[in-house]
């Protein structure tokens, strides 16, 4: 049986939180169980701090985070990060650290990534085993 979980990249999570995700993408994601990586949680809280979010928006973020499965870091994720990060450097295309952690989390857990920034993850999809839930156009 196919795992129906999908990892939401920070861009998608942010659009969901702001109720700005395109309805076509939302319909594609709604039947699946939403996950977020520890990196996305950190990025969202970073934005809350930098943006001086008020109590209401922070509570909204907390409520949303309890509605998704947060994928933790572990040795398998760290090992995957090391492998794909080094491979990208050897290809001459080092990738941003947070994108690499998100890709490593997806790959270590065997889950597809829902991102609208497909170009940021294209190398991992091409050279590694990252599955993109939203295909590039």
- Would you kindly state where each structural domain of the chain is located, as residue ranges? 5-127
Yes or no: say if 86 and 76 are a contact pair by the CB < 8 Å rule. no
Q: Which uninterrupted H or E stretch holds 37?
A: strand 33-37
CA atoms of 116 and 101, how far apart (whole Å) = 17
CATH topology of domain 5-127: Rossmann fold (3.40.50)
CA distances to 17, 31, 62, 66 from 59, rounded to whole Å, are 11, 25, 5, 11
Contact 131, 106 (CB under 8 A): yes
What pTM does this model have?
0.93
Reported as a single tens digit per residue, the pLDDT across 56-100 is 999 999 999 999 999 999 999 999 999 999 999 999 999 999 999
């Amino acid at each position: 049986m196919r795992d129906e979980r999908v990892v939401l990249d920070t861009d998608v999570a942010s659009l969901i939180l702001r109720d700005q995700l395109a309805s076509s993408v939302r319909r594609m994601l709604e039947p699946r169980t939403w996950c977020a990586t520890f990196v996305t949680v950190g990025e969202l809280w970073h934005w809350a701090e930098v943006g001086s979010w008020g109590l209401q928006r922070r509570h909204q973020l907390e409520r949303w985070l309890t509605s998704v499965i947060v994928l933790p870091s572990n040795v398998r994720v760290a090992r995957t990060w090391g492998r794909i990060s080094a491979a990208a450097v050897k290809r001459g295309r080092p990738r941003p650290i947070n994108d690499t952690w998100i890709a490593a989390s997806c790959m270590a857990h065997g889950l597809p990534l829902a991102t609208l920034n497909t170009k940021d993850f294209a190398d991992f999809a091409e050279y590694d085993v990252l599955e993109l839930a939203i295909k590039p156009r």
